[in-house]
Amino acid sequence: MSTSVISGIQSIELEITGTCQLRCTHCCTNSGPQAPAGRMTREDWSRVIADVAELGIPMVQFIGGEPTLSPHLPQFIDEALDAGLGVEVYSNLTHVRPSLWGSFSRQGVCLATSYYSDDRAQHEEITRTRGSLDRTRANIAEAVRRGIPLRAGIVEVIEGQRVEQAKAELHRLGIKEIQIDRMRRIGRAAEPDASTPTAARAVRTLLSAPRVRLPRRGRVRLHPQSLHGRRQRPRTASRRDPAQRPMGRDDGGRAGAARRRLYPGRFERLRPRPYARLQPKAFRARPVALPWSPRVNWTTCAAALADVSTHRHSRWAPAVAATPRHLFIPRWWTRAADGWELRDGPTDTDRWFEAAYRDTSLVTRVGPLHADHATAADRPHGRPTSSATLPSLVVGMFQHARIDDGDRLLDVGTGSGYGAALAARRLSDEQVTSVDVDPYLTEVARKRMSETGAAPTLDTIDATGDLPYEPASFDRIVATVSVRTIPASWLRALCPGGRLVTTIAGTSLLVTAEKDEDGGATGRVEWDRAGFMHARHGDDYPPGAAVRLAKAAELDGDEVTRGPYPVVDVANAWDLASMLEVEAPGIEHEYREDGEQRVALMAHADGSWARATATGNERPTVHQGGPRRLWDALDKVRDYWLSNGELPVRGARVDITPDGRTFLGRGKWSAELR
C-alpha cells in the first residue's frame, strides 16, 4: 500500500468483529450473537494498523460488534501501541475476560462504552439482553478502580428513557466525560418493524474528531464529518470546557492535546520515534531484493531487515536497524547429506551478509560443538543446541511481553546475543539482564555486544534452577528457550503484575502470564505459534533419542493393528504435536517418505514405541510395543479434533501456582503440564 501522511483525520475505527452478546434495537451494523466475525483476517488487521501509523493518524478505535469478543484484541492493542498510536476500545462492557484488563491498563489505552438507563428493565429493553445493565455497571466500576480512562455515551432510543438519571449514575460511578446524543435511521433501526419511530443509528460521539471507519468486510467508509469538515456538537458540550468540546477541526486538529488534558500522563509515552530518520529510503519501501555486497554498508542491510522483520513504525524497528547482526553470527551450520556443514562468514562476505540479514534462524551450535570452534572438515551429527533466532520472532516475543520504556527485562537464553543487544538498544544497558547455561555463549556475546556499543548484564546461569537475583527484580521475563513447566524461580524474580513470555517444551505453544498477588501467575496460550530449543542443563541434550527411534523402525512389537487415520508427520503438524505433547509428554518423532510409501516412528524413554506404515493416504499398519500404546494416544487426539472441530490447547487459560505447577484449561478440557 502506498501511503503518505494524512492531516485532519484524528482517529480511525476498526470494526474487528461483527459478533456481539447484545441485540440492541438501534444497532447500526445488525450485530448480534449470530452475526459473523467478518472476512478480515488477523494478518489483514495487523497490516491496517501499520498503515494507520504510516498515514499519520494518531489514534485507532477498536469497535464491533463487540471488540472484546475478538481473540486477537490484545495483539491488536500491542501492535497499535508499538506503532506509537493511541488506542480506544469501544465496548459494551458486559463481559471482560480477566486477561483483557492487563491490556486495558497499559499506558496509551482508554475505554469507551454506551449506557442507556439506570433502570434495569429499561436498559434491558434496549439491549434485549437480560442482565446487561448489572454486568456493564460492574465492569465500569472495575475500570474506574484500575484507573483506566473511561468515557460514556448515552443514546436516546425510546420515549421516556431515563437519560438524566443514567448520567447522574455514571457520575457517581466515577466517569467524568459523558455525552448524550440522539439516533439516526441506519442499520437494524431502519427496519420497518423497528420498535420506535425514533429508532436509528446511535452515532458514536466519543471520538469527536474527523475519522475513517474500516468495517470487518474491509471496505473503507468516510464518515460524513470527515467529508464535510463539520460535525454535530454533543448536547453536553461546553465552549468553555475544552475537555468536553468535540475534538474536531474547530480545535485546530489538537485532538491529542485535548485528550492528554483529559487523561493527564496517559499518552505521555506515545512520542514519535526516530525510525524514519535512520534510513529513510530503506524504510519507505519493502525491498524486492536485498543489496548483498561487501561494498554495501551493513546499516543498509540492517534497515532492510528491520523493514521485513517488523513494521516500520514499531518501537523495535530502530533497534533492528541499528544492530549489526552479522557480528553476532560470524560462523554457522547448515544441513548437509553427511551431517552439518560449516559456513564461515568472513571468507565469503556476500553469503555472510545474505544469511545474517535475512529474517531466518541460523544454527550456531550442534551437540557440544560451536561453529566458532569447528574446522571445515567437521561434520557433526545430532541436534542443534544453540542458534541465532530469526529477528521477527525475537521482536515478536518482546512485543508479547508488552515492554514499556521503564521496564527491567530478564532475557532467558542469550544464544548469539543478538536479542539482548536489541533489548539494550530499545531500553538501556542497565535495564536488561540476559542469562544462558553455556559460559562460552555469554562470554562471546559480551565481547560482540561491546563492539556494537551495547553492554547489558550477562550471567552464566541455568535459568531453570535458582536465580541469584532479589525477589521482584524484573518487570518482564522473556525466554527464547522452551520449558516444560514455569520455573518457580522466574515467579520469584518477577515483580507483582509483571509479565512473562515463554514457550512450552516440545510444542509450539506460546504462553504469556502476569504475576498475581499470591505469587502465582495467570495468563493464556496465545494464538501465535513459536518454537524454541529445550532449555538444556549441560553441554548437550541427553543421548538416546536416535537409538530409540532406530529400534522402533525394526521391531515387530507386541501389537499390530490397522489405524483409522492416514500416516501423518506429527512433528510438522504443529497443533497436533502440541496437543499430544501436553497429553503424553516426551515422545520423539521421525517421519520418512519414499515415493508413496510413508513411515512414522514414535519412541519414548520409558521404552514405548510405535511404527505406522502406509501407501499414500490409505489406513496404516501400526506396530506398537512397550508399556504404552503411543499411536493410540495420537489417534485419541485426532478423534477429539474431528469430534470438536478444533484442539483446545491454543487459546487456553494458563494458571501457574507459586511453586511453578502449570495448568491449562479451555471449556471442559484441562490438563496439568508435567
What pLDDT is stored for residue 643 in this prediction?
A: 93
Flag whether pLDDT at 121 surpasses 50: yes
Q: Which of 210-224, 235-249, 393-407, 551-565 has the lowest mean pLDDT?
A: 235-249
Q: Among candidates 26, 20, 21, which has minimal Cα distance to 156?
A: 26
What pLDDT is stored for residue 27 in this prediction?
A: 77
What pLDDT is stored for residue 271 in this prediction?
A: 33
What pLDDT is stored for residue 263 in this prediction?
A: 38
Q: Among candidates 562, 561, 559, 560, which has minimal Cα distance to 619?
A: 562
What pLDDT is stored for residue 35 in this prediction?
A: 77
Q: Among candidates 391, 375, 378, which has minimal Cα distance to 426?
A: 391
| Rounded (10°) angle between helices 630-644 and 574-583 | 120
Rounded to the nearest integer, the mean pLDDT of the chain is: 83
Q: How far apart are CA 102 and CA 386, in angstroms?
A: 33
Condensed to tens digits (0 to 9), the pLDDT of residues 31-82 reads 788 778 788 888 889 989 988 888 888 899 999 889 999 989 998 999 999 8
Task: Give the number of other Cβ atoms within 10 Å of residue 338's Cβ.
Answer: 7
Q: Residues 6 or more apart from 338 whose CB is under 8 A from it?
A: 379
Does pTM surpass 0.75? no
Percent residues over pLDDT 70 in the chain: 82
**Mean per-residue pLDDT for 260-287?**
34
Condensed to tens digits (0 to 9), the pLDDT of residues 566-599 reads 999 999 999 999 999 999 999 999 999 999 999 9
- Structure letter (DSSP) for residue 462: -
Flag whether pLDDT at 456 surpasses 90: yes
Residue owning grid cell 434485549: 128
Flag whether pLDDT at 228 surpasses 70: no
**Mean per-residue pLDDT for 438-447?**
97
- Do residues 42 and 72 make contact, with C-beta atoms less than 8 angstroms apart? yes
**DSSP-assigned states of every residue in 637-656:** HHHHHHHHSS-SSTT-EEEE
Beta strands of 295-378 (E only): which ranges?
A: 331-336, 339-344, 362-366, 369-370
CA-to-CA dists, residue 23 to 27, 139, 610, 627, angstroms: 8, 19, 53, 55
Percent residues over pLDDT 90 in the chain: 63
What pLDDT is stored for residue 168 in this prediction?
A: 93
Flag whether pLDDT at 266 surpasses 50: no
Angle at 165 between CA 160 and CA 169, to 5 degrees: 145
Q: How far apart are CA 225 and CA 248, in angstroms?
A: 9
What pLDDT is stored for residue 18 in this prediction?
A: 86
- C-alpha 304 chain-centroid distance: 23
What pLDDT is stored for residue 259 in this prediction?
A: 40
Q: How far apart are CA 73 and CA 95, in angstroms?
A: 14
C-alpha cell at 441: 555463549
Flag whether pLDDT at 280 surpasses 70: no
Flag whether pLDDT at 248 surpasses 90: no
Q: How far apart are CA 512 and CA 503, in angstroms?
A: 9
C-alpha cell at 61: 478505535
Q: Are strands 211-214 and 221-222 parallel, antiparallel or unpaired?
A: antiparallel
Sign of the dihedral through C-alpha 295, 299, 301, 303: negative
Q: Exposure of 483 by Cβ count < 10 A (0-12 exposed, 13-18 middle, 19+ buried)?
A: buried
Q: Among candidates 165, 144, 147, which has minimal Cα distance to 156?
A: 165
Sign of the dihedral through C-alpha 635, 639, 642, 646: negative
3-state SS class at 58: coil
Flag whether pLDDT at 312 surpasses 80: no
What pLDDT is stored for residue 545 in this prediction?
A: 85
Q: How far apart are CA 69 and CA 63, in angstroms?
A: 10
Flag whether pLDDT at 233 surpasses 50: no
Condensed to tens digits (0 to 9), the pLDDT of residues 46-58 reads 989 988 888 888 8
- Do residues 463 and 437 make contact, with C-beta atoms less than 8 angstroms apart? yes
Give the H or E element holding residue 450: helix 439-452
**DSSP-assigned states of every residue in 59-86:** EEEEESS-GGG-TTHHHHHHHHHHTT-E
**Mean per-residue pLDDT for 129-153?**
91
What pLDDT is stored for residue 221 in this prediction?
A: 46
CA-to-CA dists, residue 318 to 304, 324, 491, angstroms: 11, 12, 31
What pLDDT is stored for residue 225 in this prediction?
A: 38
Which pLDDT band, with edges at 50, 70 and 90, does 658 fall under?
very high
Q: Residues 6 or more apart from 401 whose CB is under 8 A from it?
A: 409, 476, 477, 478, 499, 500, 501, 512
Flag whether pLDDT at 256 surpasses 50: no
**Mean per-residue pLDDT for 102-127?**
90
Q: Among candidates 23, 127, 20, which has minimal Cα distance to 63?
A: 20
Flag whether pLDDT at 557 surpasses 80: yes
Flag whether pLDDT at 373 surpasses 70: yes
